[in-house]
Amino acid sequence: MYYDLHTHTDYSDGTLPPEALIARAHAAGVKVLALTDHDCTDGIARAAAAAAGVGITLIPGVEISVTWQRQTIHVLGLGVAPTHAELQTGLAALRVTRGQRAHEIGARLGKAGVADAYAGATALAGGPIVSRTHFARYLAAAGHARDLRRAFKQFLTRGAPGHVPVTWVAPEVAIGWVHAAGGQAVLAHPARYRLTTTRVRRLLADFKDAGGDGIEVISGSHSRDDMHRFTLLAREFDFLASAGSDYHGPDSWLDLGALPPLPAECRPVWRDWPACA
Ligand code: AMP
Ligand code: MN
Ligand code: MN
Ligand code: MN
């Protein structure tokens, strides 16, 4: 069984529509795929229909924007009921925050000499989620940055002219939505937050206390070393372990179907899933 439990479509900041994501996952040998768009579950119905057609088990998911100690972290909800009212009310509030932030990013970029960034990013988004990724794509397309990575660094991250600090929701709030909707809460790509060893342990301890179920051990954005480190930490903090590429499209950092297996000492997040027994 090949699992990929972290992917995006063009309903958030991925580039492929749900049908194309599923076709590519099928071609790559993925058997169980979670769609985890940022703060939005609108793509799940189309993905589920396409998955049924090719024999992929589609796990309804979401990647929730969370603030922990004034830092943004991402919490995956896996196996959530997409229509659950409490989850949807929560995600809708996050999208309002996103929309306000997008306006503010546009305004600040305007002052920094970048014209029409809000309109440009919104047009590129074309859907319910306007992400910094869409601003980065606009900045690159309009010639303000050489590529996405540089667009983030020069315009969108802390200290840059288009950086807008936001407070999302607390970990326990996001975890509460996920649990109310019947899902499992998994800390996404823990190595990406650039925390010191002490702060990583603080985050894992807090995530555990807040009711978190697991962490991503295998991630498209983890090095071999990160995977080993978080295998040990998952054990120590008694977390289930998840695996996901964080695929955003053909220009993503890792293609579908290319993840290493979960180490044998991990307890997989899917161990009790009926669809995957
Ligand atoms: P947002 O949730 O709108 O703040 O955007 C965060 C998204 O931007 C992440 O999910 C990544 O897909 C993308 N991202 C963040 N940092 C970078 C970077 N340095 N280069 C490319 N993409 C990035
Ligand atoms: Mn993203
Ligand atoms: Mn993320
Ligand atoms: Mn992601």
Partners of 77 in the β-ladder:
62, 185
pLDDT of residue 173 exceeding 60: yes
Helix, strand, or coil (residue 215):
strand
Q: Is the CB of 149 under 6 A from ligand 1?
A: yes
Q: Which residue puts its alpha carbon closest to atom 9 of ligand 1?
A: 133
pLDDT tens digits for range 84-118: 999 999 999 999 999 999 999 999 999 999 999 99
Establish whether residue 37 lines the binding site of ligand 1, counting it when its CB lies within 6 angstroms of any ligand atom: no
Ligand 1, atom 6: closest residue by C-alpha: 132
Cα 44 to Cα 58: distance, rounded to the nearest angstrom: 8
C-beta 148 within 6 A of ligand 1: yes
Is 1 a residue whose pLDDT tops 90?
Answer: no
Ligand 1: which residue has its CA nearest to atom 20?
149
> How distant, in Å, are the alpha carbons of 44, 59, 86, 179, 231 from that of 182?
16, 12, 11, 5, 25
CB-hemisphere CA count at 13 Å for 250? 5
Determine whether the shortest distance from the Cβ of 38 to ligand 1 is under 6 A: yes
Q: Mean pLDDT across the stretch 117-126?
A: 97
What is the residue with the minimal CA distance to atom 5 of ligand 1? 132
- CA 208 to ligand 2 centroid distance, Å: 24
**Which pLDDT does position 10 carry in this prediction?**
98
Query: Which amino acid would we find at residue 78?
Result: L
Assigned token pair, 72: 């943004």
Q: Tell me the CA–centroid distance for residue 171 and ligand 2, in Å.
A: 19
Q: For residues 196 and 177, what is the distance between their CA atoms, to the nearest angstrom?
A: 29
Nearest to 73 by CA among 154, 169, 165: 169
110/72 Cα distance (integer angstroms): 25
Would you state the torsion angle of the CA atoms of residues 239, 42, 86, 267, taken in this order, to the nearest 10 degrees? -10
Alpha helix segments (H runs only) across 112-251: 117-125, 132-141, 148-151, 171-180, 197-209, 224-236
Is the pLDDT score of 277 beyond 70? Answer: no
Angle at 91 between CA 87 and CA 92, to 5 degrees: 115
Confidence grade of residue 275 (pLDDT, cut at 50, 70, 90): low
Find the 3 Cα to ligand 2 centroid distance in Å. 19
- Cα torsion for 11, 16, 22, 24, to the nearest 10°? -160
228 CB near ligand 1 (under 6 Å): no
CA distance 117 to 151: 12
pTM of this prediction exceeds 0.75: yes
From the CA of 133, give the closest atom in ligand 1: 8
Least distant ligand from the CA of 246: 4
Helix, strand or coil for residue 120? helix
Distance 59 CA to ligand 4 centre (A): 15
Give one word for 116, left, alpha or beta, with left for phi > 0 and alpha for psi -120 to 50: left
pLDDT digits (tens, 9 = 90+) for 187-234: 999 999 999 999 999 999 999 999 999 999 999 999 999 999 999 999
At 253, the pLDDT band (50, 70, 90 cuts) reads confident
Is residue 276 predicted with pLDDT exceeding 90? Answer: no
Ligand 1 pocket, mutate which of 64, 129, 131, 247 (most atoms under 8 A from CB): 131
Q: Does 168 contact ligand 1 (Cβ within 6 A)? A: no
Burial of 225 (0-12, 13-18, 19+ CB in 10 A): exposed
Cα 8 to averaged position of ligand 4 atoms, centre (Å): 7
Whether 189 lines ligand 1, by a CB cut-off of 6 Å, is no
